[in-house]
Amino acid sequence: MKLAFSTLGVPGLPISEVVRLAAEHGYQGVELRAHPEEPVHPGLSMLERADVVEEFKRGGIEILTVAGYVRAASEGDDQPVLDELAALVDLARDLGARNVRVFPGGGDQDPATADAAAARRLAAAAPYAADMGVRILLETHDSHRAGAAVARVVGTVGHGSVGALWDIMHTWLAGEDPAASHAVLAPHLGYVQVKDIASAEDTEPLSLGAGVLPLRACLDTLDADSWVCWEYEKRWHPEAAELPGLLSAGREHLLRLGAPKQ
């Protein structure tokens, strides 16, 4: 199992510090939140992108994903969504990241309409992503919380450069068992986001193992070389404990859970 953490847990932290934290606490990769309020976003110049690459190279840490905010199923014209997605793919290529994260964002649309919009746009973007060596991952989130919902869309696209990102909180909130989530997502799975919370009503982030999410049941479904990323949502919960002080214990907890069973 290869471990990463999301910069959502350390909002605004300089890249040099992000890399230092990953290296010091034994994480092999980082998921970079790509937003204008963060150090990395599509507005960076080529020189700034090269500086980011050098920081990660110097620290021996992989950029797992550029986590963007494209909403593949959103209402409206296709072209603005495709333009935003292309900019994220370009950023990922320039940084050497293997993945781009997108959300469904179907809102209150009829599910079939939302599915069709997302599949159409992702299919249109897939050849360019393939040319750039980047994979677009649709996250289990918002209008498509369940693994079955994301699998419907990604399966319709049917292209190797479009896959799925399994956020276990959202599949759990959708009432889906981890084994069922994995069964439908496995043919498309890029990696898994883990986290922990107190309840469905209280989603403030907790240290791993301190909440109710089925972490072991999820990790039990994965291959030994799978990527697992801790998404600690400090950005949305400023009162939560600081992530850096939790990283080592979180890593050890995940390694214990993911160890081969005797």
Q: Cα dist. 103→21, 27, 60, 116, 248 in Å?
A: 27, 25, 29, 15, 29
Full pLDDT tens readout for the chain, 262 residues = 999 999 999 999 999 999 999 999 999 999 999 999 999 999 999 999 999 999 999 999 999 999 999 999 999 999 999 999 999 999 999 999 999 999 999 999 999 999 999 999 999 999 999 999 999 999 999 999 999 999 999 999 999 999 999 999 999 999 999 999 999 999 999 999 999 999 999 999 999 999 999 999 999 999 999 999 999 999 999 999 999 999 999 999 999 998 765 4
Rounded distance between C-alpha atoms, residue 133 and residue 222, angstroms: 24
The CATH number of the domain holding residue 14 is 3.20.20.150
Structural domain harbouring 213 = 2-258
Rounded distance between C-alpha atoms, residue 231 and residue 65, angstroms: 12
Q: What phi-psi label fits residue 76: left (phi over 0), alpha (psi between -120 and 50 degrees) or beta?
A: left
DSSP string across 95-121: HT-SEEEEE---TTS-HHHHHHHHHHH
Tell me which residue of 99, 74, 116, 229 sits closest to 162, measured CA to CA.
99
How many domains does the chain fold into? 1
Question: Is-contact 259 224, C-beta < 8 A?
Answer: no
Rounded distance between C-alpha atoms, residue 149 and residue 112, angstroms: 10
* Three-state SS at 68: strand
